Amino acid sequence: MNVLTIHGKKVPTVFDLLGTKENDLSYSLGWVLAQCPPLINEVVLAITGQTIDAATMEGVEVRLQEHNKKDKGYSDVELIVPGHCYLIIEMKRGWNLPGPEQLARYAQRPGLLDKRFPERRLITFSECSPAYAQIHCAAENFTIGKLSHYNWLLFLKALASARPQCSHKQKQLLDEFMTYLKQAVTMRSIDTNWVWVVALTDDRMEGWSITFKDVVDKHKKYFHSVKKGDPPTYIGFKYKGRLHSIHFIEEYEIVDDASPLFNEPNGKPFGEPHYLYTLGPAIKPARKVTYGKIWNPGRNWIMLDTLLTSATIEKALKTTREREKKFNAS
């Protein structure tokens, strides 16, 4: 089978030709909805509880980047089903949510004021848990229509439910979109060789009985401020002069207080959002990998294979830099 690549990276689906930014996501979603009425049926059912047949109805529309002259904003996707629902779908990668200014703009949309639609909603799709979304983007702050937050899992389930109702051509399209969506909506790339290597200490959070090493070794977790960067795919830990372990990050979420999760009643909230990682099994180098003379003792981005084949972290980092320069890796 022939292989298509862009800048050395494989292109597994036609949607990857667009990219994975939020606008790319909305264009892809709009196309799939327009081509697969059964998917519209399942999305409407999952969100509003209404049963429709988009293939036989008149006036069903999927609008992309709809511009409003009053608020001067653009909506990602609008799904209009006459007599049933008017849905504005806001698509977010990772744990992002609309801010107050964006919500204020949507509040002026004519469709959300049109009482001919029994269901008028602003929908967000993201990786956020419903509890986190409600705290940081409360539904009561949006008084026009309904504001509803959904995890991308709901849409993946709608894709699976729609598939048996589709033609062979539509099934192929849904399969490609599902493949694309699974890798596009997260801020992490599964197809990567990069490891974020961080230092661990025996220090403790204020009021905690366990150390940062315990968080990793005993609880298979790790956390850091959202301000320090997006979640990596692999994370490595170094302490006591050597590389300790490397882990695939199985899951992540954003929390404001990790104390209850670690049964630390005397702990305090972080004061700002933190990523909380669930770590996979430890990948241990076959031999001892010492620090060497690394020039950044805190955190480093290093390629996985170099960490597993080098005698020192310094050498692994040097090899990574040389490879970046040679192949323009990113």
> Does residue 191 have a pLDDT over 80?
no
> Does residue 281 have a pLDDT over 80?
yes
Segment 44-66 mean pLDDT: 93
Residue 190 confidence (pLDDT):
67
Do 198 and 284 reside in the same domain of the chain?
yes
Mean pLDDT of the chain: 88
Do 74 and 11 reside in the same domain of the chain?
yes
Residue 128 confidence (pLDDT):
82
Q: Which residue, 132, 157, 184, sits at the end of a domain?
A: 184
Do 16 and 164 reside in the same domain of the chain?
yes
Segment 2-21 mean pLDDT: 77
Stronger pLDDT, 257 or 104, i.e. the higher one? 257
Segment 82-92 mean pLDDT: 92
Tokens matching residue 282? 């430890």
Q: Which residue, 184, 214, 232, sits at the end of a domain?
A: 184
> Does residue 7 have a pLDDT over 70?
no
Give the domain extent around 204. 194-327
Q: Which residue, 184, 210, 229, sits at the end of a domain?
A: 184
Confidence of residue 12 (pLDDT cuts 50, 70, 90): confident
Segment 160-169 mean pLDDT: 94
Segment 162-170 mean pLDDT: 94
Q: What's the distance, Cα to Cα, between the start and end of the chain in Å?
A: 27
> Does residue 330 have a pLDDT over 60?
no
Confirm whether 274 is domain-assigned.
Answer: yes
Residue 20 confidence (pLDDT):
79
Segment 305-311 mean pLDDT: 91
Do 211 and 286 reside in the same domain of the chain?
yes
Do 104 and 17 reside in the same domain of the chain?
yes
Do 156 and 9 reside in the same domain of the chain?
yes
Q: What is the dihedral of CA 20, 185, 43, 65, to 10 degrees?
A: -40
Residue 295 confidence (pLDDT):
57
Segment 59-71 mean pLDDT: 84
Stronger pLDDT, 68 or 244, i.e. the higher one? 244
Torsion-angle region of residue 53: left (phi > 0), alpha (psi -120 to 50) or beta? beta
Residue 10: in which H helix or E strand, if any? strand 9-10
Residue 265 confidence (pLDDT):
93
> Does residue 8 have a pLDDT over 70?
no
Q: pLDDT for 212-258, tens place per residue?
A: 999 999 999 999 998 888 889 999 999 989 999 999 998 898 889 99
Phi, psi (5° rounding) for residue 131? -65, -45
Segment 126-150 mean pLDDT: 80
Closest CA to 85 of 68, 60, 56, 109: 60
Residue 29 confidence (pLDDT):
93
Do 176 and 238 reside in the same domain of the chain?
no
